[in-house]
């Protein structure tokens, strides 16, 4: 840099000297042209003056050069100083920037720490506030590692029906009065608190991989306490609605056992208890026609594959509801029976009214004693007699029992749930197995309690599906020892048969307007499932009927049925719920005839009223469901063909908060029942119509 500046100044000085010399020469030439040359001394003097003048200029230029050098040196010094100062300032600025960055980082870290600390404090404060709130207003009770949460409600219900059903809040859809029946001319009013429910939920977490849940819910639909005055004190007994336990694993598997809604019940969400579609707003205790449900002892294995798909497999308590047949032979066992006729569970007439009956206690070979009778070689030889109907009640209570199904009902379901809505779809199936046994006499023919058997004796123990060492027989005339011995010798000989029942169903929930309108639908069909699982089938239908097969053996035949139910649920505001439901159930007719009784009806006048449950010439027995050939008014004259209904109702929440919910219900139902037409009923089939109005006030725990 210095060399460049020095060279520049030297070049400037030389250029200036050359220009001055050239300018002087030019002026001299001009002067010489204009004037005559001066004398030599004058010229010498003039040249001396010019040299002096040039020397002065040189001196001035040297001074200027020196000054320029000094200025250059000063400038260089200043520039160097400025560069050093700039470097120092840059270094200082860099240091300041670094310090500022560090300060900023430190400040930012402090702010982050402060925010985290504030968040932690806020969370801690929230937890503390929540803990304090829970202490002051506990939502659950902690006991060791278990959390108990009370559930339930207090309910007051009012029910009015235009025809008398002699029942409470649960309407027997399949047994509403038919036209012409006495109850068809009376209305009915009920007011009760039986629908109140009390229970609790308990939850525990043994580890991070499993969650245990227990649930108990009861109501007061148990029978009235014996000895109370229902007109003055309504002492309804507590009963179990649900009582189950569940283990849920992170792998998606769940095990559930206890009493709860069957997997055959349509669902709203998933395949676990609590996700049932049971019409959530309907107040009717029997749900709606066509909506299948059952609460019983069950064991369920469920698997949730992802957020959308789940499946479950279940075994249910096996139970064959009342066999519905135009005639049920007394020696045919294996079905549930009740003490309403003799033998219990059949449609045979009960002997009564000052008639003599001979009650025989039969002892199987190998037994040594029998109450009230002497035994010879293990076979009864003596008889005892009665002249009133008192022993009949004992026989009925002896024969009351449950069905003898060989294995549990088997149910399976596959379900799909939407991720961001209430949409739900499922497919389900069920398999059932009914077993019956026919008690045989010494000749291999069935012992017929109606008097059509070859012995004229009714062996009542066969109704239980098995035989005891001691059984009972009845006849209206004394029987010989040989006849009694022949009957006793057959005890333990039972011809067993198994009938298979099945069902398939689909159901779903479709959100029409998100969070505002939902559409629900369920449909199922099968054989031997309608009576137990359908609300209309539990009355006056039966899962199976009786037929005589080609070998002459009485066997059970599942009754075919189909059901459909659905409706719309409206949620206009958080306080209001409106609903419209409808459903239908259909039960198929099947005609069978007991041709074996055509010539052996020896005691029909005594044990069967004239013409009861008979077909054709009055000596053959009508079998099957809804037999069109019936010529008498019996329970089978009212075998249900189809039942349908429509329901409109609302739910309004008066108050809702951490104190619970006080809500009101109001609904109206129209129910229509049609039965199969028989020869006795005349040209028009019997029908029943019912209007039901329900009003309720309910306080639900939070």
pLDDT at 503 over 90: yes
Per-residue confidence (pLDDT) for residue 323, from 0 to 100: 61
Q: Tell me the CA distances in angstroms from 654 to 180, 209, 697, one per residue in order.
A: 43, 41, 10
Averaged pLDDT for residues 585-594: 85
Are 483 and 409 in contact, with CB atoms under 8 Å apart?
Answer: no
pLDDT tens-digit map of 530-554: 888 998 887 667 788 878 777 666 7
Is the pLDDT reported for residue 658 higher than 60? yes
The pLDDT of residue 226: 59
Of 436 and 441, which is predicted with more confidence? 436
Specify the pLDDT at position 441. Answer: 39
Average pLDDT over residues 476-482: 53
Per domain, the residue ranges of the chain are 2-109
pLDDT of residue 13 exceeding 60, the answer is: no
* pLDDT tens sequence across 75-115: 777 777 777 777 777 777 777 777 767 777 777 777 777 77
Q: Could you tell me which residue, 358 or 321, shows the higher pLDDT?
A: 321
Position 481 scores a pLDDT of 55
This prediction's pTM:
0.68
- pLDDT confidence of residue 487: 54
Higher-confidence position of 33 and 302: 302
Residue 324's pLDDT band, with cuts at 50, 70 and 90, is: low
> What's the confidence (pLDDT) of residue 339?
29
Determine the Cα–Cα distance for residues 171 and 535; give it in Å rounded to an integer: 9
pLDDT tier at 685 (50, 70, 90 boundaries)?
Answer: low
Mean pLDDT across the chain: 73
* pLDDT score for 639: 82
Contact 453, 447 (CB under 8 A): yes
Higher pLDDT, 607 or 567: 567
69 DSSP 8-state letter: H
* DSSP string across 670-691: EEEEEE---TTT-SS--EEEEE
Residue pLDDT, tens place only, 213-267: 999 999 998 876 655 566 777 778 889 999 999 999 999 999 999 999 999 999 9
pLDDT at residue 625 greater than cutoff 70 = yes
Give, as one character, the DSSP assignment of residue 357.
Answer: B
pLDDT over 70 at 204, yes or no: yes
* Confidence (pLDDT) at 182: 83
Specify the pLDDT at position 200.
95
**Does 382 have pLDDT greater than 80?**
no
Residue 375: which H helix or E strand, with range?
Answer: strand 375-376
In whole angstroms, what separates CA 524 from the centre of its chain?
17
Angle at 426 between CA 425 and CA 432, to 5 degrees: 160
Res 310 pLDDT > 50:
yes
Q: What is the mean pLDDT of residues 266-280?
A: 88
Distance CA 434, CA 297 (A): 18
Say how many residues make up the chain.
702
Q: Which pLDDT belongs to residue 479?
A: 52
In this prediction, residue 556 has a pLDDT band, given cuts at 50, 70 and 90, of confident
- Lowest mean pLDDT of 128-142, 257-271, 430-444, name the range: 430-444
Give the CA-trace dihedral at 203, 208, 209, 214, to 10 degrees: 0
Of 44-53, 349-358, 362-371, least confident by mean pLDDT is 349-358
Residue 350: the pLDDT is 29
Mean pLDDT to the nearest integer, 354-370? 40
- Give yes or no for a contact between 692 and 284, defined as CB atoms under 8 angstroms apart: yes
Least confident of 416-420, 548-552, 581-585: 548-552
Confidence of residue 117 (pLDDT cuts 50, 70, 90): confident
Those residues with Cβ within 8 angstroms of residue 133's Cβ, 6 or more apart along the chain or in another chain? none
d(CA 541, CA 639): 6
Of 399, 259, 419, nearest to 332 by C-alpha is 399
How far is the C-alpha of 366 from the C-alpha of 378, rounded, in Å? 5
* pLDDT of amino acid 237: 85
Instruction: List phi, psi (to 5°) of 252.
Output: 100, -10
| Nearest of 161, 205, 157 to residue 185 by alpha carbon | 161
Which residues, in sequence order, are CB contacts of 373 under 8 Å at separation 6+?
Answer: 361, 363, 380, 382, 383, 384
Burial of 600 (0-12, 13-18, 19+ CB in 10 A): middle
Cis peptide before 524 (omega within 30 of 0): no
**Residue range 156-199, pLDDT digits in tens:** 999 999 999 888 888 888 888 888 778 888 899 989 898 999 99
**With helix as H, strand as E and coil as C, how does 153-194 read?**
EEEEEEEEECCCCCCCCCCCHHHCCCCCCHHHHCCEEEEECC
Predicted pLDDT at 147:
93
pLDDT of 146: 93
* C-beta of residue 345 within 8 angstroms of C-beta of residue 323: yes
pLDDT at residue 304, as a whole number: 96
What's the pLDDT score for residue 302?
97
Tokens 């100062």 sit on residue: 85
Q: What is the mean pLDDT of residues 493-520?
A: 88
Instruction: Return all residues near 567 (Cβ < 8 A) that are at least 6 apart.
Output: 279, 288, 519, 520, 579, 580, 581, 582, 647
In this predicted structure, what is the pLDDT of residue 280?
A: 66
Is pLDDT larger for residue 36 or for residue 462?
A: 36
399 contacts 345 by C-beta, under 8 angstroms: yes
Percent of the chain residues past pLDDT 70, beyond the cut:
65
Given pLDDT bands bounded at 50, 70 and 90, which one contains residue 371? very low
């Amino acid at each position: 840099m210095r060399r460049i500046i020095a060279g520049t100044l030297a070049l400037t000085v030389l250029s200036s000297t050359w220009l001055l010399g050239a300018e002087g020469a030019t002026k001299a030439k001009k002067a010489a042209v204009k004037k005559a040359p001066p004398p030599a001394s004058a010229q010498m003097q003039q040249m001396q003056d010019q040299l002096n003048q040039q020397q002065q200029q040189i001196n001035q230029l040297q001074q200027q050069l020196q000054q320029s050098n000094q200025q250059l040196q000063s400038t260089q010094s200043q520039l160097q100083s400025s560069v050093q100062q700039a470097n120092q300032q840059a270094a200082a600025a860099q240091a300041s920037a670094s310090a500022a960055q560090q300060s900023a980082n430190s400040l930012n870290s402090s702010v982050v720490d402060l925010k985290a600390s504030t968040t932690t404090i806020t969370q801690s404060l929230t937890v503390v506030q929540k803990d304090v709130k829970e202490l002051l207003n506990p939502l659950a009770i902690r006991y060791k590692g278990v959390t108990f949460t009370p559930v339930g409600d207090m309910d007051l219900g009012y029910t009015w029906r235009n025809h008398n059903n002699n029942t409470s809040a649960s309407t027997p859809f399949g047994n509403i009065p038919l036209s012409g029946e006495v109850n068809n001319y009376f209305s009915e009013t009920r007011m009760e608190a039986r629908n109140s429910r009390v229970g609790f939920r308990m939850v525990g977490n043994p580890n991070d991989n499993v969650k245990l849940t227990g649930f108990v819910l009861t109501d007061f639909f148990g029978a009235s306490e014996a000895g109370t005055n229902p007109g003055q004190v309504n002492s309804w007994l507590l009963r179990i609605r649900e009582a189950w336990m569940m283990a849920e694993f992170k792998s998606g598997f769940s095990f559930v056992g206890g009493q709860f809604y069957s997997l055959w019940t349509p669902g709203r969400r998933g395949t676990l208890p609590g996700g049932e579609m049971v019409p959530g707003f309907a107040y009717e205790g029997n749900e709606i026609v066509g909506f299948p449900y059952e609460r019983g002892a069950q064991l369920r294995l469920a698997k949730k594959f992802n957020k959308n798909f789940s499946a479950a497999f279940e075994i249910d308590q096996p139970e064959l509801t009342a066999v519905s047949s135009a005639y049920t032979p007394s020696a045919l066992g294996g079905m549930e029976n009740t003490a309403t006729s003799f033998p219990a569970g059949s449609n045979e007439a009960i002997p009564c009214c000052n008639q003599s009956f001979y009650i025989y206690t039969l002892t199987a070979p190998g037994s040594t004693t029998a109450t009230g009778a002497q035994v010879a070689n293990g076979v009864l030889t003596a008889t005892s007699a009665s002249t009133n109907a008192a022993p009949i009640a004992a026989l009925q209570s002896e024969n009351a029992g449950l069905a003898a199904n060989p294995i549990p009902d088997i149910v399976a379901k596959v379900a799909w749930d939407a991720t961001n809505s209430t949409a739900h779809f499922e497919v389900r199936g069920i398999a059932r197995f009914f077993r019956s046994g026919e008690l045989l006499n010494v000749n291999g023919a069935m012992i017929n309690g109606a008097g059509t058997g070859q012995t004229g004796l009714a062996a009542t123990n066969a109704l239980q599906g098995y035989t005891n060492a001691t059984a009972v027989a009845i006849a209206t005339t004394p029987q010989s020892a040989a006849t009694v011995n022949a009957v006793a010798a057959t005890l333990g000989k039972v011809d067993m048969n198994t009938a298979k029942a099945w069902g398939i169903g689909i159901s779903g929930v479709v959100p029409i307007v998100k969070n505002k309108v939902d559409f629900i639908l369920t449909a199922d069909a099968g054989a031997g499932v309608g009576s137990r699982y359908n609300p209309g089938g539990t009355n006056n239908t039966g899962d199976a009927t009786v037929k005589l097969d080609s070998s002459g053996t009485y066997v059970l035949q599942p009754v075919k049925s189909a059901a459909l139910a659905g409706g719309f649920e409206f949620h206009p505001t958080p306080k209001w719920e409106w609903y419209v439901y409808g459903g239908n159930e259909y039960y198929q007719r099947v005609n069978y005839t007991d041709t074996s009784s055509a010539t052996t009806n020896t005691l029909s006048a005594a044990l069967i009223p004239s013409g009861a449950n008979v077909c054709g010439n009055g000596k053959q027995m009508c079998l099957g469901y809804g037999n069109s050939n019936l010529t008498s008014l019996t329970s089978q004259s009212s075998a249900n063909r189809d039942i349908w209904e429509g329901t409109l109702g609302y739910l309004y929440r008066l108050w809702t908060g951490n104190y619970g919910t006080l809500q009101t219900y109001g609904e109206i139902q129209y129910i229509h029942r049609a039965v199969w037409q028989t020869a006795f009923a005349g040209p028009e089939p019997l029908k029943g119509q019912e209007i039901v109005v329900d009003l309720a006030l309910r306080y639900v725990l939070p």
